């Protein structure tokens, strides 16, 4: 396993009587997308602000490529962030002016910042909007530009807070493709979103925060396999006769077709015996999705 590019240990943050974040630890590794999930008020945004150097933790530490960004702010050159909302850029500057400004602010020389900005605008389909003020861009274009300001200095780590929120389907899919490509290129990405289908499409790792604590962290594949459990989905070529249906119900089979068989392999074989000689269309192990996992974990936590 590759070493983490961004690592947090035991982060805590209190606002008055409210302890918003309680001992959160996370690790972002190159080439991976970590989906950081939780309800509103669970502590996601507070954690992201601490990871990005915007909010000083009351306890715990952050290491960005081995450096402490609170002691050495220049370490933040390794990080790019898109925070929730549409104010990641300056609205009265053009798209090009924004990218050049952020590039220079993060250590690039003016000529290099301009060259990098023009290349990104072309790659992300915003070339014809280079000289348009941000306030005149569509929501989708503003979101793309927000991602570009996080990328202009080519950081190793990206924090993306709701990057597809409010986008139409086509633009959301384009944005997902770009995020996937960035991870494939070796960037470590933390993704927070309430769109669990987006998280499931992009994530390699999943962490769920609930009431300020991380209550689950696991690879997406292992997590979905574990929550699928011993369930099977069964489809017939035609509806079963009433007598066979009664036998299925007695065996605990649910549904009207496809049918859900709960239990291990022995339970499945008992159901298949009851179905002989009816023609089968499909027998497969049931799969969980991230929404189901999230609801079970948060409901149980």
pLDDT of residue 85: 67
Q: Are residues 55 and 198 in the same domain?
A: yes
Q: Indicate if 267 and 238 belong to the same structural domain.
A: yes
What whole-number distance in Å separates Cα of residue 178 and Cα of residue 167? 14
Q: What is the pLDDT of residues 154-182, one digit of tens each?
A: 999 999 999 988 788 988 999 999 999 99
For 176-232, what is each residue's pLDDT tens digit? 999 999 999 999 999 999 999 999 999 999 999 999 999 999 999 999 888 877 688
Is residue 45 domain-shared with residue 153, that is, in the same domain? Answer: yes
Which domain covers residue 131, as residue numbers?
A: 6-225
pLDDT tens-digit series, residues 55-107: 999 999 999 999 999 999 999 999 999 987 667 999 999 999 999 999 999 99
Q: Are 47 and 28 in contact (CB under 8 A)?
A: no
Residue 198: which of 48, 33, 82, 49 has the closest Cα? 33
pTM for the complete prediction? Answer: 0.84
Residue 159 token pair: 């924090």
Strand order in the sheet with 18-28: 18-28, 6-15, 59-64
252-258: long-range pairs with CB below 8 Å, 24+: 258/233, 258/234, 258/282
Q: Is residue 298 part of a domain?
A: no
Residue where a domain stops, chosen among 225, 241, 270: 225
Residues 6+ apart with CB under 8 A from 174: 125
CA–CA separation, 39 and 20 (whole Å):
13
Together in a domain, 10 and 144:
yes
Based on the fold, state whether residues 150 and 262 are members of the same structural domain: no
Judge contact between 5 and 29, C-beta under 8 A.
yes
Average pLDDT, the chain: 92
Kindly state whether residue 17 falls inside one of the protein's structural domains: yes
On whether both 156 and 204 belong to a single domain, the answer is yes
């Amino acid at each position: 396993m590759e070493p983490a590019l961004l690592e947090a240990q035991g982060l805590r943050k209190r606002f008055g009587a409210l302890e918003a974040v309680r001992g959160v630890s996370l690790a972002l590794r190159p080439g991976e997308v970590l989906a950081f999930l939780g309800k509103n008020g669970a502590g996601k945004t507070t954690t992201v602000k601490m990871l990005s150097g915007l909010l000083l933790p009351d306890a715990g530490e952050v290491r960005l490529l081995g450096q402490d960004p609170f002691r050495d702010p220049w370490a933040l050159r390794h990080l790019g962030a898109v925070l929730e909302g549409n104010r990641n850029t300056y609205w009265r500057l053009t798209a090009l002016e924004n990218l050049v400004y952020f590039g220079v602010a993060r250590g690039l020389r003016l000529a290099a910042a301009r060259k990098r900005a023009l290349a990104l605008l072309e790659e992300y389909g915003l070339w014809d909007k280079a000289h348009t003020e941000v306030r005149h861009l569509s929501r989708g274009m503003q979101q793309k530009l927000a991602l570009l300001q996080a990328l202009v200095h080519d950081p190793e780590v990206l924090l993306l807070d709701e990057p597809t929120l409010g986008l139409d389907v086509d633009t959301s899919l384009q944005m997902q493709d770009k995020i996937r490509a960035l991870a494939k290129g070796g960037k470590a990405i933390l993704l927070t979103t309430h769109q669990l289908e987006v998280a499931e499409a992009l994530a390699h790792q999943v962490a769920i925060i609930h009431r300020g604590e991380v209550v689950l962290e696991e690879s997406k594949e292992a997590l979905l396999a574990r929550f699928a459990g011993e369930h099977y989905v069964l489809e017939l070529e035609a509806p079963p006769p009433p007598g066979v249906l009664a036998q299925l119900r007695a065996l605990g089979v649910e549904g009207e077709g496809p049918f859900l068989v709960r239990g291990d392999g022995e339970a499945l074989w008992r159901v298949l015996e009851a179905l002989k000689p009816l023609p089968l269309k499909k027998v497969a192990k049931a799969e969980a999705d991230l929404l189901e996992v999230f609801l079970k974990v948060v409901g149980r936590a």
